[in-house]
Structure 1
């Protein structure tokens, strides 16, 4: 009877312990979703990249010039759900919440106690992921993919179960179909396996079957790249020449500290633990992995946020180690302080890192933004607003004005709307009340022209630096032409972009469009 009683009490205690942990985890997830919606001011529109990703739902395929196909699948789901702002913001928040969940499970696998779980969840919650998860871009799922793949490796090392090789290969493939950035993770993991006793993995036949599974999953995208002359290389070349050339390697390293500033103690504790803490000896390859991956990022002058996916798994290691260090004597009184640090350091970041202040406020209080380098754009220069914030202004205004110009035209159903960039085209297509179909020679829109119909009018949306000379250049091909309107929001990145109306074509517009497309697609 005594044994049965003890067994019953142990099972009861375990049940209530699990219930308590589950309740706390659900609380963190709830706070995560709440914050993601509270951190955005209604004064801002969507960001330019978001419009492009949403428009991909109307053109489903196995590849795009800008990103792999996974984002378009999410966009299609969002479209089925009504294409509202709520669902657009829901999915990056979901991917961020799942990242927190995986870190929680990693801590459990490392035998972390309740303090370790709460510390890890707090560190993930109050980090750069809050900023990243406000934007509907591939980056949120990219971080989740990295974290799940690291978790699969951790589980394989712990259990030696081959199913984790297949899970890892599947996760890598899905991550690859979301963002090619995950190849940097592969560079770090492959090298670290060779440098440790885990190199014996390369003698396991299941590894190669798992690789074949991953290859089969990404093959449709590779075939798309092949059939389209590998535009990814052209895209990377343009990226390197126009943006990555402005990346400062020292700034890259500085910003790694800022992304998880409230978790630095935990992350550095993980580095120490992976080298010196005996229970983590079998996971030592993780220390080599982060070093090699960061070196690869530095070598290629990658943007700083490309590396965010590295850190969540190290928060798991650090949280478990600190829970052991702080579990006895007077040190246990430091546990609340350790949990409070990420929250306290988040408070000043809250005031600058999110689009929750009006543009006027930011312009009048630029010092904090400038100190953090947030006013520096991809062109390497400082501007009035952070680039992402400026990219969230003027779009709705543009779409409404294009609608108005369109309604004023004769033969309006034979009007081509041609924009300078994908943000303009995507915003018009998202906000229009008239079901218009704007296109551009920029990014994926170059593949989305409908040249099966005749066009007699042209609405031309020009960036501010290309306005001069547009009338003189294009008006000879039309009977009438006017500068119809422009974006007047002075804080918008698109400020000064103009809307021209060209009426009554004297030529077949489609021929000139086809010639321009052929020229643009002739990648150097």
Structure 2
């Protein structure tokens, strides 16, 4: 055993109260899971789940697979789809409590860490919806917990488990590679460096590569389209992401938790008893620099904030009179912002803070508007007619809500929909187009275009599809097979 390691004793895991907190947040998420409707991304995942593959242009396969399994078991509804998100959120709560335990937290600290995680705004938001961020958050905290356990015990065989967790995370989102980079750089800078020596780290890396390889192979075979997507996100939102980085670090968990996670970072850095874990403090700073420099989304740093929060809860647990009222206040505020608590017509109150709330409203109304426009297509022309959506949200909504109304399957050249094929060249028109206001005027690729309606969600919610344009064209200017490359877009 290397002298670097100190086999610190840890308290017993507070299983009953921690699992109670996890069950409570799962119950809340379940109650509100069907309150509004599907999110635009969820509608996309439903269709992607019907086209299972080892990869997609904008993501690895895990989230669409999870969507497919959840709806197959629990039903093709928002509540059925979101069971997997609820379970992932509850698991995240338990793992953060386990992280607090690794960092010297007793029963009170573990329960506090679980509670702070459960009521945090971003955690509730991604726990309510099925998204890549939902499973990414869980993968990151699992990697952190396993690495902390490895560092505390000195059991290098745990590199195999770390590698497996990284590989699974890569099958969901490549961002977990940023975590690996930040932790590796921090370990090299602050130690313990000898944990990186020997065959076990290499074996762990091999496991990670083996688990992630099918999707990496798919991306390589298709020219690494995800790099194109990532570049587009950075180009479109990079400046805004940099400006909002610090404010969003403050609000992601809760402004009242900021002193706790700052204290946790300082504790990791300064406490001699945690010298083996001090790399996690600079790892957060390294990750923050990378995210800001690349124009990435500020929430990429959230899982490491949860580690710092867990470290801070070990100290904060000694002040229950201050912390538990803060947890209660955070729970109320986070629920209002992150969950569909308000009546649908009042979502505008919180939409400016969390725009994902508004993206769960208006999809049935979009299908109704398209159905009304479709009724203007003569019955004799419908066998050759096409419904074409500008983005994956519209296409996903029409695939789900449109099918209920008897509309034909939509086509789109956005993201994965482009890979699922253009209409046949025999579909010479008419073409019913749906696009956002201010979006690329796709009508230029078609002939005889006239306005056929617009979308109104009926609640005056300013989301991305409110007032979307519906246009009826006589047909495409060239066969779909030739037109498709010009129509394809990634952002």
Q: Give TM class, smaller chain.
A: 0.7 to 0.9
- Give, in whole Å, the separation in 1 of the partners of 2:385 and 2:314: 62
* Structure 1 match to 2:419: 447
- The structural deviation recorded for 1:99 is 0.6
Between the aligned partners of 1:150 and 1:219, the Cα distance in structure 2 is: 22
CA distance in 2, matches of 1:269, 1:68: 36
Match of 1:309 among 303, 327, 334: 303
Give 1:339's aligned residue: 324
Provide, for residues 429-482 of structure 1, a one-character-per-residue CA deviation record: whole Å limited to 9, x for no partner.
Answer: 122213732121111111112555732432222323369894x97344xxxx76
Structure-1 residue corresponding to 2:38: 46
1:384-423 CA distance string (max 9 Å, x none): xx53233223211122343455466425344322111111
Match of 1:6 in 2: none
1:285 to 276, 279, 285: 279
- Partners of 1:321 and 1:467 in 2: CA distance: 53
Q: Which residue of 1 aligns with 2:69?
A: 77
Q: Is the 8 A contact 2:338 2:357 kept in 1?
A: no
Superposed displacement of residue 343, structure 1: 1.8
- State yes or no: 1:410 paired with 2:410: no
Aligned to 2:203: 209
Query: Do the aligned partners of 1:420 and 1:441 also contact (CA within 8 Å) in 2?
Result: yes
Cα separation, partners in 2 of 1:466 and 1:174, compared to 1, 3 Å: closer
CA contact (8 A) 1:33 1:94 kept: yes
2:180 to 175, 186, 190: 186
Note the alpha carbon deviations across 1:215-238, whole angstroms, 9 max, x for none. Answer: 122122122112211111211221
Contact 2:433 2:472 in 1 (8 A): yes
State the Cα deviation string for residues 309-339 of structure 1 (Å, max 9, x = none).
Answer: 212222322223444xx3xxxxxxx324323
**Which structure: larger Rg?**
1
Contact 1:393/1:493 (8 A) holds in 2: no
Query: Are the structure 2 counterparts of residues 335 and 210 from structure 1 closer, same or farther at C-alpha, using a change threshold of 3 Å?
Result: same
What's the counterpart of residue 467 of structure 2? 496
Change (3 A) 1:173 1:467: closer
The answer for unaligned runs of 5 or more in structure 2 is 1-10
Q: How does 1:53-452 map to 2 (within 5 A)?
A: 53-81=45-73, 82-127=75-120, 128-249=122-243, 251-261=244-254, 262-323=256-317, 326=318, 334-358=319-343, 360-361=345-346, 363=348, 375=352, 386-406=354-374, 409-411=378-380, 412-431=382-401, 432-433=403-404, 434=406, 436-449=408-421, 451=423
Deviates more, 1:455-464 or 1:150-159: 455-464
Q: Look up the match of 2:5.
A: none
Residue aligned with 1:311, SS: helix
Alpha-carbon distance between aligned partners in 1 of 2:63 and 2:163, rounded to the nearest angstrom: 19
Kindly provide the CA deviation profile for residues 281-329 of structure 1, in whole angstroms up to 9, marking residues without a partner as x.
2111111211111111121122222221212222322223444xx3xxx
Corresponding residue SS for 2:465: coil
Q: State TM-score, norm by structure 2.
A: 0.87
| 3-state SS, counterpart of residue 360 of structure 2 | coil
Change (3 A) 1:466 1:238: closer
TM-score, length of structure 1 as denominator length: 0.81
Tell me the equivalent position of 1:486: 454
Q: 1:464 to 1:268 in 2, by over 3 A?
A: closer
SS in structure 2 at match of 1:317: helix
Deviation larger for 67-76 or 237-246: 237-246
Which sections of structure 1, spanning at least 5 residues, go unmatched?
1-16, 327-333, 377-385
Deviation at 1:142, TM superposition (A): 0.7
Counterpart Cα distance in 2 of 1:415 and 1:158? 64
Q: Structure 1: how far apart are the matches of 2:323 and 2:456?
A: 48
Q: Report the counterpart of residue 383 of structure 1 in structure 2.
A: none
Report the Cα distance in structure 1 between the residues aligned to 2:421 and 2:72, rounded to whole angstroms.
23
Inter-CA distance 161–414: structure 2 relative to 1 (3 Å threshold) = farther
Task: Give the 3 Å change call, closer, same or farther, for CA 226–336 of structure 1 in structure 2.
Answer: same
Once residues 486 and 126 of structure 2 are traced to their aligned partners in structure 1, the CA distance between those partners, rounded to angstroms, is: 36
Residues 266 and 318, structure 1, Cα contact 8 Å, conserved in 2:
yes
SS of residue paired to 1:465: coil
TM superposition shift of 1:145: 0.8
Q: Which residue matches 2:6? A: none
Q: Distance in 1 between matches of 2:331 and 2:485?
A: 50
**Displacement of 1:138:** 0.5
Per the TM alignment, residue 85 of structure 1 is displaced from its structure 2 partner at its CA by: 1.1
- Kept in 2, the 8 Å contact 1:122–1:339? The answer is no
The superposition leaves residues 53-102 of structure 1 with CA deviations (integer Å, 9 ceiling, x where unpaired) of: 22101111111122111111112202312221112222222111101111
Partner SS state of residue 388, structure 2: strand
